[in-house]
Amino acid sequence: MTPLTMFIVSDSVGETADLVAKAAISQFRHDVDTVVMKRFANVDNLKQIEEIALLAQRQKALIVHTLVKSEMREGMAHYAMENGVQAIDLIGPIVDMIGGRLEESPFEEPGLVRQLDDDYFKKIEAIEFAVKYDDGRDPRGILLADIVLVGVSRTSKTPLSQYLAHHRYKVANVPLVPEVEPPAELLQIDPARCFGLVISPEKLNFIRKERLIALGLKDDASYAKVSRIEQEIEHFEKVVERVGCRVINVTNRAVEETANIILDQIEQLK
């Protein structure tokens, strides 16, 4: 496998360049961790640019950058060419195009997209809420949540909660097990804001076995047996019928797909 090193360079935190680079890499490698990615954040002078270009030459790295100041972008182009390094400017061409259309000059202030506005605070609040009320830790969160997820263990409740939190929704998730009576709060909420996550016994059997192996345990524990899984799903079906919520089969769905189904329904309630 051909090795690849990428330098992510930004005059802010570098999240944008990092995400774009990973999206591009994923078209060639399913595991983006096989690519060495080094982030250079808060780069604010030409001396740093020169040093990064020299280092990229030594390590035969590609440079991907989101430098908003024209002086810095020009410096990167100069030093990259001088050192025979490939550098991709992700933001410059777009800024120039928009500036031409608006007939305005850009602010050239790093980090504006991350200003601490209401939207940003709502996202942080939602993420903290999802952590606090994850895995049924506190049933009081069910009544405070915008969205409630229920399901048996290993049906992607936690990653789905975090994904929805990034869309600024407060999410509580509740695991359902036959031996534990579901929280009374589940029967007090609007069923349209509650979603049951179900998965095929075969798929869940595989996932749970892999989970046990990853923990260094034997994969023949009751937790991973099909008979136990079927018992849990039967209990799940009884609970969601009482709640009256929508059930989504997540067997062959990515978290993003499930989230879109939920968001579509929630948006209709507004």
For 33, which DSSP code? G
258 is in an annotated binding site: no
246 is in an annotated binding site: no
20 is in an annotated binding site: no
Asked if residue 169 lies in contact with residue 126, where contact means CB atoms within 8 angstroms, the answer is yes
155 is in an annotated binding site: yes
154 is in an annotated binding site: yes
Three-class secondary structure of residue 62 per DSSP: strand
222 is in an annotated binding site: no
CA pair distance 177, 266, nearest whole angstrom: 26
The pair of three-digit structure tokens given for residue 44, joined into one six-digit string: 């604010």
Asked if residue 196 lies in contact with residue 247, where contact means CB atoms within 8 angstroms, the answer is yes
161 is in an annotated binding site: no
Asked if residue 87 lies in contact with residue 77, where contact means CB atoms within 8 angstroms, the answer is yes
251 is in an annotated binding site: no
Helices (H) then strands (E): counts for the chain = 10, 8
The pair of three-digit structure tokens given for residue 5, joined into one six-digit string: 């090193």
Q: Which residue positions form the known binding site for ADP?
A: 151-158
Q: Which residue positions form the known binding site?
A: 151-158
